[in-house]
Amino acid sequence: MKKFWTKIEWRITITYAIFGALWIFYSDNLVARLFSDDLIELEVQHYKGWFFVLISALLIFFILRNALNKQHLAQKKGEEVQEKFKWMIDASMDAVLLTNPDGSIQFANPAACQMFGWTEEEIIQGGRDLIVDTEDPRLAEMLEERAKFGASRSQLTYKRKNGEKFEGEVTSALFTESDGVTHTSLIIRDISEHNRALAEVEASRKRLSQIFASITDAFIVLDRDFRIVYANAEAARINQKEPEAFIGKNHWEEWPETKGTQVEKYYRQAMETQKTVHLENHYVVPGKIDLWLDIHAYPFEDGLAIYYRDITDKKHLDELYRQTSEMMNRVFDRMSDAFILLDNEWKIVNINPKALDRNHLVKEEVLGKSHWEVWPMTVGNEVEFNYRKAIAENTPVHFDYHYFAEGEYDEWHEIHAYPGTEGLAIYYHDITDRKRSEEALRNSEEKFVTLFNNSSVPMALASYPVRELLEVNKAWIEFLGYSSEEIYGKTLTELGINRSESQENNISNQIRQNRSLNNFEAQIITKSGKTKTVIASANIVPIAGLDHLLISMQDISSRKAMEEQLRALNETLENRVQERTRELKSRNEELETFTYSVSHDLKAPLRGIDGYSRLLQETHKKQLDEEGLLFLTNIRLATEQMNRLIEDLLQYSRLERRVLTSGTIDLSQLLSSLLKEKEVEINQQRIEVETDLKCGTITTDNDGLVFALRNLLDNAIKFTAEVKSPRIIIRSQEENGKCILSVEDNGIGFEMKYSEKIFEIFQRLHRVEDYPGTGIGLAIVRKVMSRIGGRTWAKSEPGKGSIFYLEIPL
Amino acid sequence: MNTNPTRPILLIEDNPMDVDLTIRAFEHNHVVNPVTVLRDGEEALTYIRDYSPQAPMPMLVLLDLKLPRVDGLELLAELRKATIFKTIPVVVLTSSSEDKDVQTAYQLGANSYIVKPVNFENFIEVAREIELYWVLLNFPPL
């Protein structure tokens, strides 16, 4: 409810009341001030009253007139509007209903009556349930929506009088009338027909789409602006896109590469002339698409329907066919095989250059002639037989033919003949070389078989990797005792020839790793049970495309036995050597003991003899005559000689036993110390000593060399004793990696026939009384030299002197 | 100079001729010290064992190497083990000039090694030298 003063009538009333009050109050004051005369004042008061009434009456008149006019106009307009709405509602194709809040119907227009089949009265009486399918779940939704927003639009299921249900679109709104009651308006349109029509259109569109989609040609539809309206699956496939992706795109933007090509020219031509065009286009997008398209464009008023087909394969095939036939022709001409084409009458239809050359023919002369006429020698033999057979049985034939005429030709031809509906295609080539090599191979194979069989080495051929024996030679049979029937398909292990598992593993490992077995020493057992040692070798050899194993073995049992004997012998020998060594060692020890004894026990009696001889000489001199004394002197001389012999012998044996010690020796130093030792004798005999040493230092056994050199010097001094102006020259010089040391004297010398004998032990060339000595010195020299790996020899001439040489390895 | 002529010289030698000649050689040189002769190794070992400390200490041992039963080198080893004879001078007097003998003798503690000459004059000379050095010149341990 509005506040009352907001209403215009109240405002006017209140404004009037205020104005009236102010008028009364101020107008009297004003009059009183203007007119001081009470009488006049009274008069004016009187007129003033009348004036106020007049103004008020005028005001009321205008207000009333205005208000009455407005109401009249409004009423008139309302009637007009209502009339129009009524007409509209009555004339509406849609059903219009007005309902009350309780759901009962207040009004239904004629369209509603027609739609539902009831009269307005029946509808008003029947209410909502009469016409709405209350089971429709959308009803509740609609009511809810309307309550919420004041209006709604939805589809509901309605019922007709005849029970038929139909789909209606309903627009409903709530409105409140001037009486404050809320009503509902419903405008219902029967859309079942519309839906059916829509469904039909949709179905037909789908059918068309399916047809377009399923046609194997690509199909696109362009509008007059070349915009793509439709593209089917094949078009999408060719362009590697989804069909929807094309829709709405401009053809020239979608396929810019077609712009400016014959494609554009043809399409525009089709569009303008409204005539179908047909073209083949090579459509290339580098790196992506490379297609040949066969395009048909059908113009219609609104655009262009374009069918195109991928003919790439066909194009390729065409190209291939073209190339192939060109190639075929080339091949045919250049074929190394001779080629002849016969028709069903045996006439030559085609013949290639090779065939012509081979037979010294000219193409033009033989074309059209019968085969049998050109090659009469083939009549009645296997050539004719085979050709006829090929045609009769319609199967290709293949045979080798010996093309032979004494003194003219001798060739082998391999002939292939292929029958066809139009005749016989023959080609052949010369296999003379192959035939000959095959023959040679056959001969050589025979040779190898003979070799294999007659080889003295046991050999076997086995499969690989199973190693089942397939073939063995005579030697193998003789060696192992199994016949070739017994062994076939069996392995060596199965036969019991190889009984050692570790050996078997070893063999298979080696073959697997090296694809061969090389000189493998194996123990095998023959059929008679004898164990043999063999050296086995095996190689994987391909025979007829399959790996085989060629095994050979060599019986080394006897060799093994010999080896064993040798080993035993060696052992015995070793034992014997050891035994001998032991013996020798004990002999050596004995010898040592012996020489030891010699040194002691032989010398002791000598000392006795000498001692007592001396005592006799000294203390019993008076009892002895001159001869007796001489005897004693001789006894003592003999004793001395004996002593020297013993000493020399000891030295000799010591040399034999002593251990060599190698050291660096300065020859000149060594020599000067030796000369120093002999200084007395040298001076006594006035010996001239010269040295000429070129070797410098040498590496050898010091003591041995000293010994040898001292002996030579002793000899030189000794044998120059009787010479006038004695002279000794000592030289050394290098020769072939050896140092040759020589001691030369101008002494008595000796005959060269004794040059070797003098180096033997106890050999003397002079009497003791002339030149004392034991005959051991030079033997010692030789011994020393041989022990240090050197040599010694002498040159001499009686009366002129001698040269003794020492050769010392450096 | 040696002032005790009573201390004996031990001569260990099996060959009677050598013993005789040695003694004669010493006499020839007027050696005053008594010479005690032991004829083999075993006798020498007995002597060592039975030696009483009251007896005069030998001044010098002259040792032959080639002795019956216990040989000279074995004896030398035993001698050097005995407390009393450990320090006594031993002169090996032998016919052997073998390096091995010389080497072994010194290793076992010989003080000198002399080869007996066969020539009697030389032998007398050797005896004289021994006496001069070992008996007269040398101060033996007490």
Model ipTM? 0.80
Q: How many CB atoms lie within 10 A of CB A288?
A: 8
Give the model confidence (pLDDT) of A478-487 as tens digits: 888 888 888 8
Over pLDDT 90: what percentage of chain A? 7
Q: What is the 3-state secondary structure (H, E, C) of A459-507?
A: EEEEECCCCCEEEECHHHHHHHCCCHHHHCCCCHHHHCCCCCHHHHHHH
Interface test with chain B among A592, A602, A603, A607, by most B beta carbons within 10 Å: A607
**A621-641 b/e with 16+ CB inside 10 Å = b?**
eeeeeeeeeeebeebbeebee
Out of A596, A612, A639, closest to residue B118 by CB: A639
Give the model confidence (pLDDT) of B20-72 as tens digits: 988 888 888 777 888 999 988 888 889 888 888 788 888 899 999 888 888 89
Please tell me which residue of chain B has the smallest CA distance to A643.
B118
SS3 A803: strand
In sequence order, the β-bridge partners of residue A283 are A291
Assess whether pLDDT exceeds 70 at residue A569.
Answer: yes
Assess whether pLDDT exceeds 80 at residue A215.
Answer: no
Chain A CB contacts of B94 below 8 Å? 600
Mean per-residue pLDDT, A666-688: 90
| Closest-CA distance of chain B to residue A603, Å | 7
C-alpha dihedral sign at A147, A152, A156, A159: positive
End-to-end CA distance of chain A: 153
**Phi (first) and psi of residue A490, to 5 degrees:** -110, 150
A633 touches chain B (CB under 8 A): no
Lookup: tokens for A500: 């050692």
| Closest-CA distance of chain A to residue B101, Å | 10
SS3 A808: strand
> Are A533 and A553 in contact, with CB atoms under 8 Å apart?
no
- Of A760, A773, A770, A758, the residue nearest A644 (C-alpha): A773
Lookup: tokens for A169: 């679109």
Interface A-B, measured as beta-carbon pairs within 8 A, has a size of: 60
Chain A CB contacts of B120 below 8 Å? 607, 610-611, 613-615
CA dihedral B106, B111, B115, B119 (to 10 degrees): 180
Chain A CB contacts of B63 below 8 Å? none
Q: At what angle do helices A626-657 and A603-619 cross, to 10 degrees?
A: 160
- Residue B108: band (very low, low, confident or very high) from pLDDT cuts 50, 70, 90: very high
Cβ separation A612–B123 shorter than 8 A: no
**Location of structure tokens 């395009």:** A295
CA A183 to chain centre: 88
Q: How many Å apart are CA A538 and CA A541, to the nearest integer?
A: 9
3-state DSSP percent of chain A in helix, strand and coil, to 5: 50, 25, 20
State the average pLDDT for chain B: 87
- Residue B3: band (very low, low, confident or very high) from pLDDT cuts 50, 70, 90: low
- Contacts by A597-600 with C-beta closer than 8 Å and gap 24+? A597/B66, A598/A646, A598/A649, A598/A650, A599/A646, A599/A650, A599/B95, A599/B96, A599/B97, A599/B98, A600/B65, A600/B66, A600/B94, A600/B95, A600/B96
Assess whether pLDDT exceeds 90 at residue B90.
Answer: yes
pLDDT of residue B37: 93
Interface test with chain B among A591, A610, A646, by most B beta carbons within 10 Å: A610
Assess whether pLDDT exceeds 60 at residue B2.
Answer: no
pLDDT of residue A495: 84
Q: How many Å apart are CA B31 and CA A168, to the nearest integer?
A: 176
A656 touches chain B (CB under 8 A): no
Chain A CB contacts of B97 below 8 Å? 599, 650
Out of B24, B96, B119, closest to residue A596 by CB: B96
Cβ separation A599–B97 shorter than 8 A: yes
Cβ separation A610–B116 shorter than 8 A: no
Assess whether pLDDT exceeds 80 at residue A721.
Answer: yes
Lookup: tokens for B105: 């003798």
pLDDT of residue B76: 93
- Residue A3: band (very low, low, confident or very high) from pLDDT cuts 50, 70, 90: low
Give the model confidence (pLDDT) of A546-562 as tens digits: 888 889 988 888 888 88
SS3 A383: helix
Q: Where are the alpha helices (DSSP H) in B39-112?
A: 41-50, 72-81, 99-107
Lookup: tokens for A325: 């036939």
Please tell me which residue of chain A has the smallest CA distance to B13.
A604
pLDDT of residue A465: 83
Q: How many Å apart are CA A164 and CA A147, to the nearest integer?
A: 29
pLDDT of residue A360: 80
DSSP A250: B
Taking CA atoms, A136 is separated from A125, A142, A157, A615, in Å, by 22, 10, 6, 177
Mean per-residue pLDDT, A139-152: 83
C-alpha dihedral sign at A90, A93, A98, A99: positive
- Of A242, A266, A262, the residue nearest A254 (C-alpha): A242
SS3 A788: coil
Chain B CB contacts of A653 below 8 Å? none
- Residue A690: band (very low, low, confident or very high) from pLDDT cuts 50, 70, 90: very high
| Closest-CA distance of chain A to residue B99, Å | 9
| Closest-CA distance of chain A to residue B17, Å | 6
- Of A680, A495, A647, A198, the residue nearest B95 (C-alpha): A647
Chain A CB contacts of B71 below 8 Å? none
Amino acid letter for position A704: G
Q: Where are the alpha helices (DSSP H) in A188-261?
A: 192-214, 233-239, 251-254
Cβ separation A611–B94 shorter than 8 A: no
Mean per-residue pLDDT, A12-31: 83
Give the model confidence (pLDDT) of A41-59 as tens digits: 778 878 888 888 898 889 8
- Residue A650: band (very low, low, confident or very high) from pLDDT cuts 50, 70, 90: confident
Cβ separation B95–A599 shorter than 8 A: yes
Residues 6+ apart with CB under 8 A from A14: A5
Assess whether pLDDT exceeds 60 at residue A2.
Answer: no
Question: Side-chain half-sphere of A657: how many Cα atoms within 13 Å?
Answer: 20
Chain B CB contacts of A589 below 8 Å? none
Give the model confidence (pLDDT) of A283-326 as tens digits: 777 777 777 888 888 888 888 888 888 788 888 888 888 887 77
Give the model confidence (pLDDT) of A470-509 as tens digits: 888 888 888 888 888 888 888 888 888 888 888 888 888 8
- Residue A16: band (very low, low, confident or very high) from pLDDT cuts 50, 70, 90: confident
Q: Between these two residues, A589 and B108, which has the higher pLDDT value?
A: B108
Assess whether pLDDT exceeds 90 at residue A727.
Answer: yes
Cβ separation B123–A611 shorter than 8 A: yes
> Are A283 and A314 in contact, with CB atoms under 8 Å apart?
no
Over pLDDT 70: what percentage of chain A? 98
Cis upstream peptide for A458 (omega within 30°): no
Assess whether pLDDT exceeds 80 at residue A9.
Answer: no
3-state DSSP percent of chain B in helix, strand and coil, to 5: 40, 15, 45
Chain A CB contacts of B118 below 8 Å? 603, 606-607, 610, 639-640, 643
Q: How many Å apart are CA A771 and CA A78, to the nearest integer?
A: 193
Q: How many Å apart are CA A142 and CA A136, to the nearest integer?
A: 10
pLDDT of residue A71: 84
